[in-house]
Amino acid sequence: MGIASLPMYDLPEVTRATNSWWRGLARAMMREGLSDVPETLTRGVEFPTLWRDPDLLFGQTCGFPLTHEYKDDLRVIATPAYSAPGCVGAAYCSFVIVRDDDPAKEPADLKGRVAAFNGPDSQSGYSALRAVIAPLSGGGTFFARIMESGAHAKSLELVARGEADVCTTDCVTFALLAQHRPAAVRGLRVLAESPSAPGLPYVTRKDVDEDTIARLRAAVSAAAEDPGLADTRAALLIGGAEILPDSAYVRILEIERAAHDLGYPNIV
């Protein structure tokens, strides 16, 4: 039996909707003639194990590890198009977040402050912040201190408590928290937006054959249009899905390269 996992936006508040979305996807996959479709999602497995599992059928990952650590392990099926501020089709951006009472009017005003990020392999929490700061850094140190939080919600909490002054959080996470956990974004505001990139893709194993890829793509498209899943999609802010060209995720590498070219390879 194959395995499936949707860990990227699986907040506790939307677990029921995530499970419902998977059941709809699974039904569509079986209608497309796919076998070994799991009934339930796999949770609690570390990403290196999950994304290299030989039984992986379906997952969702961040674009940065897709183009780096797992570039030889994963293949893009489709990219969800989210209905959240900051999204345009299947593209998304990160919001630069500060406290409501912070006097900063633009990212340049954050020099010498404390920044939080979820992890160095995150497009939305690390590479996006680096992209915003790189043109302002002069190739040197910009922040007084940086803090690794381990999760977007924790980065936001650090900013809200005054332990950090800024973080970047992808616009979908921010919208989901605002809808389902409003206390998590209370007292915070969006200072700026990062450069946009293709959103978090649905993926499968790199060695999956073309016929299976076509069936998986047809299943995602069908589920994205299924009227019976409308409430589920609304809870998850899913507005549709797009089949992007394989070259689309080069954008992730371009954003990283631009920061390197400006002499700012790491957030410092």
Q: Is the pLDDT of residue 182 over 90?
A: yes
What pLDDT does 147 receive? 98
Considering the domain architecture, whether residues 77 and 142 belong to the same structural domain is answered as no
CA 222 – CA 115 distance, rounded (Å): 41
The domain total for the chain is 2
pLDDT at 1 over 90: no
The pLDDT score that the predictor gives to residue 151 is 97
**Is residue 81 within 8 Å of 196, Cβ to Cβ?**
no
* Model confidence band, residue 240 (pLDDT cutoffs 50, 70, 90): very high
**Burial of 201 from C-beta contacts in 10 A (0-12 / 13-18 / 19+):** buried
Single out the residue of 47, 94, 57 nearest to residue 77, CA to CA: 57
User: What pLDDT is recorded for position 228?
Assistant: 98
Q: Which domain holds residue 127?
A: 91-196+254-261
Mean pLDDT, the chain, whole residue set: 98
Structure tokens at 204: 């499968």
- Residue 217 maps to which CATH number? 3.40.190.10
Q: pTM (2 decimals)?
A: 0.96
Pairing of strands 3-5, 56-60: parallel
**What is the tens place of the pLDDT at every residue in 201-229?**
999 999 999 999 999 999 999 999 999 99
Domain assignment present for 266 = no
pLDDT confidence band for 246 (50 / 70 / 90): confident
Answer whether 150's CB lies under 8 Å from 65's CB: no
Find the mean pLDDT for residues 96-123: 98
Same domain assignment for residues 98 and 163: yes
Cα–Cα dist 51/59, whole Å: 8
